[in-house]
Structure 1
Amino acid sequence: MKAAVLHQYGQELKIENVDLEEPRKGEVRVKMKAAGVCHSDQHVIDLTLPLPVPIILGHEGAGVVDAVGEGVTSVKVGDHVALNWVPSCTKCYYCRTGRPDMCDEAAKISAMGTMLDGTTRFSLNGRKVYQFPLTGTFSEYTVVPESSAIPIREDVPFEYAALVGCCVITGVGAVTNTAKVEPGSTVAVIGSGGVGFNVIQGASLAGAKQIIAIDILDDKLEKTKTFGATHTVNAKEKDPVREVQKLTDGLGVDYAFEVIGRPETMEQAYMMTRKTGQTIVVGVAKPNDKLSINAFSLPFQSKTITGSWLGQGNPAVDYPKLLDLNATGKLQLEPLVSKVYSLDQINVAFEDLKSGKNIRGVIRFE
């Protein structure tokens, strides 16, 4: 079967004929139907997220259960599923206290690029091939733990369902779970990519009265209005901090979300947050990046700065809820898909991602 394999950091993916083992106990094989092309995959290529190579990337994905291993009870052959790349162990401190997104076991396994038992299911010419934490969606088939295959409703097109696994749950969850944005509040969102657009529509769902989208691309800024942005700022043309303050009568916003992953934009988000407001960092910075915040401002202005990983979500519960919101017209998925590619066009999809051309590019498997 075909898969897109990263052999060396900084290089293009290669379409290879790889081998895939049968699912073992507690595992599920999925015939992939669609996979989103996310900045987190690019982060592996450029070593922002260091994972072992050769590796099959891709973590936003949806497909159909093709086979199940011994003991699997939550899904059966033929079920539609969206994949979860942060499955919780249910036993560690964080899982037991309601924060499965911080699961210790998931974090450990994520750094290994293997299955839960530390072994791999993919191979190429007898050599093991790793997979983006417990998913590896840039492949015609993949094997995942049972907890990574979340059953979903069957009336949602796969290219839309795939996106709930990262950009939708991360963006909407940052608003509803991390910040708990209140109705009538003011919000700024730095970065109009797949996650940023979902922060915007999450803020709109929460009833924010003012949602300020900030980016450097006018076409993307215009599209943010479809998702609920009330104002836009081109940071290439104007100082975003000053513009946000002007739009909020000099106060700053109640909630500022950084969705790029750069220290300078994180600092801007903090600066445009009003006294006693919240700055929420969603973007993933490089491992050695440092953030500089004025120490005096922390007690003096009583702002809160926090991070949000996977929107503090619980995929088994949140995926179905998000798709139900889409079914009722309250959450938009279709406009997130800017372009559909074949697996053979994977490197074109990544070039379009880096250029900011798409909200989200999606690989569709025929």
Structure 2
Amino acid sequence: MQTECAVLWEMHEAWTVEPVELDPPRAGEVLVRMVASGMCHSDEHLRTGDLPGIYPIIGGHEGAGVVEEVGPGVTVVAPGDHVVFGFIPACGQCPSCATGHSNVCDLGASLMVGLQLDGTSRHHARGQDLSTMVCLGTFGRHTVVNQASCVKIPEDIPLELACLVGCGVTTGWGSAVYAAGVQPGDNVAVIGVGGIGANAIQGARLAGAERIFAIDPVVFKQESAPRFGATHTAASVEEAFELIQKETWGRMCDKVICTMGVGSGQLMASIMALAAKRGRVVVTNIHPALDNDVNLNLCDLTLMEKQIVGTIFGSANIRYDIPKLLELYRQGQLDLEGLVTTTYPLEDINRGYEDMLAGTNIRGVLRFE
């Protein structure tokens, strides 16, 4: 069949929206008609080269849609089902999945390359095979994915909101609840109030944090942060240090969560200074793949028993946490509407990313219908 997708032909180029030939699903695969896709910063990392990819590539990994066809052996979904894609596939059988860590699934690691399990592509344009962002490619009107990426959801939940739990919402929420382990009464700092940081704030609030310090240089994001649960805001780590020191009587933050657009190893010492004795710093944001230089006071790390923890997908489980977060939305405890600043048609994808880089969006969403 023919569909339409946003393709990145080379690093540093703009996205081009063009016709794509899509093969039918093979064994274990699912054809999905896309309804909406969040515009995550990780796809911009793909464009800048901070994340490696196989070019040409169809972007997008935060998507929701309706199943149109399934290949042989598919058991988790059927035609007509509404689905959200978990951006890290979970097979449920590998050692990581079996021990409760499906966010680092062995099968998921294979599919994250961007090709199907047999090493081939289902998407083709200009006579070439196309890879897809983490084997999803949600920047298109249709896509073929592995069933390990699909989570069936209730049909009454708007897909233009549900798509956000495929990455940003769950990653941010899990960064606070799972990776950081926020407890009632904790003081928490969240550095970066975008699509992930806003949900780290929501996660910290739901976990019972006493004070939540939202740190972002963009005034719009500082003003938006209290909607999600922030109690204090600051424009920089340096400004936040003085504020946190004052508000906590010098104790500092039990948990510090890094959700910046692009991380920098040179900031780690000042970020660690925000953490209390035995405090935990969670690194969620992507750093450039070749960023190996870290400015860190190891004496502070040892003597104050501080921790640095990395996390992908907020250490969450797509089959447990995506339905749970959507139920929290139903109950009015999780704000999804407030995350969507602007919606765009597919042909305006480059404008959407310009808006993200300008700091005018918490989350932009592509709408396909």
TM-score for the superposition, normalised by structure 1? 0.97
Question: Greater shift after overlay, 240-249 or 49-58?
Answer: 240-249
Gaps of 5+ in 1: none
Q: Is the 8 A contact 1:262 1:283 kept in 2?
A: no
What's the counterpart of residue 257 of structure 1?
A: 257
- State how 1:169-184 maps to structure 2 within 5 Å: 169-184=170-185
Superposed CA deviations along residues 99-148 of structure 1, whole A, max 9, x for unmatched, are: 111223322431x3111221110001331011001210001000001111
What's the counterpart of residue 99 of structure 1?
A: 101
Residue 286 of structure 1 deviates from its aligned partner by 0.5
Whole-Å separation in 1 of the counterparts to 2:54 and 2:360: 29
**Structure 1 moving runs of 4+ over 6 Å:** none
Q: Is the 8 A contact 2:5 2:20 kept in 1?
A: yes
Q: Secondary structure at the match of 2:44?
A: helix
- Total equivalences in the alignment: 364
- State how 1:53-202 maps to structure 2 within 5 Å: 53-110=55-112, 112-202=113-203
What's the counterpart of residue 331 of structure 2?
A: 328
What's the counterpart of residue 361 of structure 1?
A: 364
What's the counterpart of residue 288 of structure 1?
A: 290
Gaps of 5+ in 2: none
Whole-Å separation in 2 of the counterparts to 1:85 and 1:222: 29
Question: Greater shift after overlay, 36-45 or 91-100?
Answer: 91-100
Whole-Å separation in 2 of the counterparts to 1:273 and 1:324: 32
Partner amino acid for 1:254?
A: D
- Assess, with a 3 A threshold, how the Cα gap between structure 1 residues 223 and 2 changes in structure 2: closer, same or farther: same
Question: Greater shift after overlay, 244-253 or 198-207?
Answer: 244-253
What's the counterpart of residue 30 of structure 1?
A: 32
Partner amino acid for 1:80?
A: H
Whole-Å separation in 2 of the counterparts to 1:12 and 1:36: 18
What's the counterpart of residue 242 of structure 1?
A: 242
Whole-Å separation in 2 of the counterparts to 1:146 and 1:104: 15
Q: Is the 8 A contact 2:268 2:296 kept in 1?
A: no
Q: Is the 8 A contact 1:190 1:265 kept in 2?
A: no
Q: CA RMSD in A?
A: 1.3
2:205 is aligned with 1:204: yes
Q: Identity of aligned pairs, percent?
A: 43
Superposed CA deviations along residues 308-365 of structure 1, whole A, max 9, x for unmatched, are: 1101111011111110000000101000000000000000001111111100000000
Q: Is the 8 A contact 2:37 2:61 kept in 1?
A: yes
Residue 248 of structure 1 deviates from its aligned partner by 1.4
Q: Is the 8 A contact 2:64 2:84 kept in 1?
A: yes
Question: Greater shift after overlay, 283-292 or 271-280?
Answer: 283-292
Residue 2 of structure 1 deviates from its aligned partner by 0.9
Residue 91 of structure 1 deviates from its aligned partner by 4.0
- State how 1:271-310 maps to structure 2 within 5 Å: 271-289=273-291, 290-310=293-313
Partner amino acid for 1:259?
A: T
Q: Secondary structure at the match of 1:296?
A: helix
